[in-house]
Amino acid sequence: MPADLPGYHFDPATNRYYKIQANHIAPSGSNYSRQAVNAAKVIKRTQHQKEAARRSKHASTVTRSKVSQTPLLSFDRRLGNLRTSARTYVREYYAASLSGADAFSRPVTMPRILGHEYAPSGLAEQFAVAEYSGSLLTAQTYRAAGERTLSLLLAFDRPPQQHQQNSTSSVVRDYHFYDTNDNHNNDSDDDDDDDNEAQQHPQSWPMTFGPEQPSTQGHLYSPHNRRILQSAPKIDCLKWIGPRLVCWTHETPQSPPQLAQDPTAILDPDMTQLDPELESEENYYANSYRFPQSDLILSHYSSASSSDPGSRAIGLDMVVKLRFQARILDLATPPTASPNISPNCLAIATSSGVSVMTDLEYAQHVTQTPVRGEQMKVAFKDPNVLMAGSRAGRLVLCDSRTNTQQTSSSTSTSSSSSSSALRIQHSSAISGIAPLPDGNRVLVNGLTDMKIYDLRFISAPTRNPPTTHTHRHNNKHHHYQPSKYNQRIYTPSNALITFNVDQTRRQNRYGLAFAYDPELDIVLSASTDNLHNHRVGLWSAASGQLLDRCPLNNRVFKEPVTCAEIVRLRDGPKSILLASAGKLEEWCVQGRGFECDQE
């Protein structure tokens, strides 16, 4: 075994020692930087622990006798041989049968109307899927040779099964697309007509020209069904709100003259309504000053599957733009009885607190809740109680059932009379919240761990006693103020279930995917070591154990997975959609191509 020399890393492939370089000095992709060496040590240590646990389990397991397997006096339960439920078998079978492929039948390329100087950089990090129709909403950024960029909000409609083979009038598309991998000699006269029509109307949204070319490989979406809805800057949050309403947010610049007119704009999370017309891309990037400020856009959406086949009014309608003097970090809607029912409110987590918007389709009333401070995640426990999580690991519950004073969207936001309380203190920064179906348990995902809490048995977090600070020198020379060190540090709450998350499965930073499905009772969480090990794990919410036989757990992505959803898009089990490296992958059970074979 080679000796462990301080400051050097031994590579068994080359049988040599390499000096460990600092992260800011090592070249990009180096295997001998401090970060790369530490990541390799963590992976090796985790593999050694798993192997040791497996050997210890086999060595210590005693073969059970036939007496303990008889139903007499339930000896099997007394000895720990618990019966496996049917739901556990379904969960394990689902995880073991997953197979992944691209969600699109062909690469999503640039439109011809933009010119050949643009090159596509892939889809955005965020996407949203409508459960009732399967429509996909995402964005794509086109970059030119210089600094000019163009970001477009796209929609991909999934036609009904009965119209996939013989109906081309119910689904329309924008125009033909230029693909660098195709042979351009196969272009027909219809393509030229579509290009001429697109050049005559370059600013019409959405652009819908020509019939649809159906996909025949069983993929979820086809680029031929793509429609450009709106030009928008980089999207931070994207969400479907019911069957006809979509919402997205993006950060926007704010100049110092605007701050001079309202010095309390950063501290007071007021909201103002702007012109419905979106700002142009040139005006967006013209301002170099960046301050915490975000825009929230609400719009009605009509898909091809829900509109009249002969109608061309497909896309966005009634665009309403709201500006918040804080950065919007997360969006949440209350649960509804059916996906076809629109929720009555929208929770908005910002860098200055949590706001609630009601009357979404008409007046957009905004109310500021008592939850203040930076809140990274927000979710609804039930239609009346919302939960907010912060970087400090504090989970606050806010009850808004009392009478609140709502204001119109054209005036400033007023504070409500609802109550809030700190209920859970997580052991790490909160990056995901999901209420469980029973209404009493809450799943909290942190950057380093994941736990389930039962609100019936845990009390409110207690504050740790203040620690005394001793200084060897005279306090008057260092201007020591004891009050500055009395921080509010709470004792972590007792968890009902602690998930088995090893060091290689930790998220380690914000912006990674997290999803929970109550039907299968599984939890999906993405992880990264900020180097090469970008993975996705599936856990059982009943036991907190990683589903070992799942092929998705062994998949290593090129870049971190930034968004994930578990939705039913096919006639069968649910599909898992993952966004990574500008692509969208689908993981499902029964494979692809089966829908075209059904009668």
- Sequential pLDDT tens for the chain (599 residues): 677 778 888 887 788 888 888 887 787 778 878 888 888 888 888 877 777 777 776 666 655 555 555 555 555 556 555 567 788 889 999 999 999 889 888 877 766 666 555 566 678 889 999 888 888 999 887 766 565 667 788 888 876 553 333 333 233 333 333 233 333 333 333 344 344 433 333 333 333 323 333 333 578 888 888 887 877 788 899 998 877 788 999 888 765 444 444 433 333 333 333 333 333 433 444 443 446 789 998 888 765 544 444 333 345 666 788 899 999 999 999 988 676 677 888 999 999 999 999 888 787 888 888 898 899 999 999 988 999 999 999 999 998 765 444 443 433 334 444 588 899 999 999 999 999 999 899 999 999 999 999 999 988 888 877 665 544 544 444 444 444 444 568 889 999 999 989 888 999 899 999 999 999 999 999 999 888 889 999 999 999 999 988 999 999 999 999 999 999 988 889 999 999 988 899 999 865 554 444 43
Q: What is the pLDDT of residue 254?
A: 64
User: Would residue 179 be called left, alpha or beta, if left means φ above 0 and alpha means ψ between -120 and 50 degrees?
Assistant: beta
Q: What is the pLDDT of residue 81?
A: 58
The rounded radius of gyration (Å) of the Cα atoms in the chain is 27
Q: Which two tokens stand for residue 53?
A: 């646990």
Q: What is the pLDDT of residue 20?
A: 84
Query: For residue 58, what are the CA distances in angstroms to 52, 83, 237, 347?
Result: 10, 20, 47, 50
Torsion angle of the four alpha carbons 34, 35, 40, 42, in this order, in degrees rounded to the nearest 10? 110
- CA pair distance 557, 497, nearest whole angstrom: 29
DSSP-assigned beta bridge partners for residue 561: 580
Query: For residue 216, what are the CA distances in angstroms to 133, 173, 317?
Result: 20, 17, 32
Q: What is the pLDDT of residue 197?
A: 37
* CA 273 from centre of chain: 27
DSSP-assigned beta bridge partners for residue 567: 575
- CA pair distance 431, 301, nearest whole angstrom: 30
Query: For residue 495, what are the CA distances in angstroms to 273, 356, 451?
Result: 43, 29, 6
Pairing status of strand 271-273 against strand 245-251? unpaired
- CA pair distance 258, 539, nearest whole angstrom: 48
Helix H or strand E segment including 329: strand 328-332
Domains of the chain, earliest start first: 8-83 (no CATH), 327-464+486-500 (2.130.10.10)
Closest among 223, 218, 234, 243 to 303, alpha carbons compared: 243
Query: For residue 384, what are the CA distances in angstroms to 312, 330, 336, 346, 381?
Result: 39, 18, 12, 11, 8
In the chain, count H helices and then E strands.
8, 31
